[in-house]
Amino acid sequence: MKMGTAQEVVEYIRKQKVEIVDLRFMDFPGLWQHFSVPAHAVTENIFESGIGFDGSSIRGWQAINESDMLVKPDPTTAFADPFMQHKTLVMICNICDPITGEDYTRDPRNIARKAEAYLKSTGIGDVAYFGPEAEFFIFDDVRFDQREHEGYHFLDSIEGRWNMGRREEPNLGYKIRFKEGYFPCPPSDKLQDIRSEMMLTLEAIGVATEAHHHEVATGGQGEIDMRFSPLVEMGDKLLKFKYVVKNVAAKHGKTVTFMPKPLHNDNGSGMHVHMSLWKGDKNMFAGEGYAGLSDTGLFAVGGLLKHAPALLAFTNPTMNSYKRLVPGFEAPINLAYSRRNRSAACRIPMYSTSPEAKRVEFRCPDPSCNGYLAFSAMLMAALDGIQNKIHPGEPLDKDIYDLPPQELAKVPKAPGSLREALQALEKDHDWLLKGDVFTEDVIETWINYKLENEVSALESRPHPYEFVLYFDI
């Protein structure tokens, strides 16, 4: 099902006897929000006039005295919801001010649309393609709470190595060892059918996929790779991806988290993002330089690495993100580039030598990010590198983790915490303001929201392991 106009959507609703139309948009931090209207209420007019809602109740948005906002459905995003009992058509919406009619500057999808427009205005390219590899955990049980006098979390998985000795009457073994979850066949991989259903459901709603597999960690870690798409479209698809993965898991009595580091002492969930810029039918990253890159591709890498500390405030936007970015778990904490070397922040994949396949893989991001903001910030960093001819220096074609200390000390490091990333963003964000893509208000609101609601909230609470270390002092 592919629709492009309001008329086609209205006609589809009538012919397919759709009962409910679900209108969705993303809040500022990065969660999908929605409300539903009866199908008969959807006319061609609402695609222009919009439908009102209370913007003050959405995280990071309007003040209570400026609460009225409009959602305007994008007809090109329509898809049939595969989970609802009543026949439901979903559309992703843009957010507008009801008085001025202007697109709302804090709407993440609007920021992504502006980033695409800015790319075209530079003349560097016509389209930016993104291909994220979002990892996640499928758990069988989750419990957590935090109060004034107690705090804990409990996770469980039938695959978890910690259940090797549990009485399961019978326990049949085949629990995946820590760090050995990459590609084992069933019966060790107990989630093949569920991931296959996730993949097929994604395909059914128009999200093209390339592969799925178990990931490195024990306890249900998996990955489903989506085929690359233009920036805004991929932002939409990442939301569909999370929606499908979570709901297929729920259908089977399981739960999914995109939290970057839910398990101690095993690999976390990253979201390596492949990126390329095209002008007409030419891949602007393909050339005769290092690893088959053009000067444009190399300068894009230079921009990503130069601005990485600030960029991570959007691509790795949670306190938990930085528990993944630690040595020993394949995480790219060193800001370097390389071909084939997965320990570098930027990798130039060498699966194919064809110019069409040439791309840059930024390995720092994780799936907790707001895709619209993360992809937009990546594009802006790459464009700044290209515009200012920022060369990334010499590549690091070695195992970074085996470098001697004196050599490793010369390699720039990723921020060690969300607070550090936000501080870097505060100092270094002029490149994000070009073309009015990100505004000063968006940057300031993002920093303040994260500091108040996440950084300070976590820093002020006792941690269970502090009791292990300090209770008896």
Q: Which of 109, 272, 307, 359 is catalytic?
A: 272
How far is the C-alpha of 11 from the C-alpha of 5, rounded, in Å? 10
Query: Which residue in 25, 215, 15, 10 sits closest to 111, CA to CA?
Result: 25
Residue type, 349: P
133: annotated active-site residue: yes
Annotated catalytic residue 264:
no
223 among known catalytic residues? yes
Neighbours of 97 (CB within 10 A): 16
Identify the active-site residue in 361, 366, 384, 454: 361
The amino acid sitting at 24 is: R
Residue with tokens 């007809």: 75
One of 223, 236, 266, 384 is an active-site residue; which one?
223
Please indicate whether residue 272 is annotated as part of the active site.
yes
Helix-helix angle 231-251:192-204, to 10 degrees: 130
Contact (CB, 8 A) for 207 and 215: no
Q: What is the DSSP letter of 454?
A: I
List 27, 74, 81, 133, catalytic entry: 133
Pairwise CA distance, residues 398 & 407, whole Å: 11
Q: How far is CA 467 from CA 151, 261, 415, in A?
A: 11, 21, 27
Catalytic residue among 27, 74, 116, 135: 135
Name, in order, each residue with C-beta under 8 angstroms of 154's C-beta and a sequence gap of 6 or more: 141, 142, 143, 144
Catalytic residue among 54, 141, 203, 407: 54
- Gyration radius (Cα) of the chain, Å: 23
- How are the residues of the chain apportioned to helix, strand and coil, as percentages rounded to the nearest 5? 35, 20, 40
Any idea which residue has 């195992």 for tokens?
399
Among the options 74, 116, 159, 215, which is catalytic?
215
Chain Cα centroid distance, residue 89: 24
Q: Give me the helices (H) in 123-229, please.
A: 192-204
Question: What are the helix (H) ranges across 148-294?
Answer: 192-204, 231-251
**How far is the C-alpha of 380 from the C-alpha of 121, rounded, in Å?**
13
Decide: 306 and 147 in contact? Cβ < 8 Å.
no
Q: For residues 431 and 317, what is the distance between their CA atoms, to the nearest angstrom?
A: 19
H or E segment to which residue 174 belongs: none
Looking at the DSSP bridge assignments, the partners of residue 359 are none
Q: Considering the candidates 8, 44, 342, 397, report the single residue annotated as catalytic.
A: 342
**Selected catalytic residue, list 24, 363, 419, 429:** 363
Per the annotation, the verdict on 363 as an active-site residue is: yes
Closest C-alpha to 316, from 364, 263, 274: 364
Question: How far is 328 from 310, CA to CA, in rounded Å?
Answer: 23
Angle between helices 440-450 and 308-315 (to 10 degrees): 70
Nearest CA-CA partner of 73 in 100, 31, 106, 109: 109
Distance of CA 110 to the CA centre of its chain: 17
Q: So which residues are the catalytic ones?
A: 54, 133, 135, 215, 223, 272, 342, 361, 363
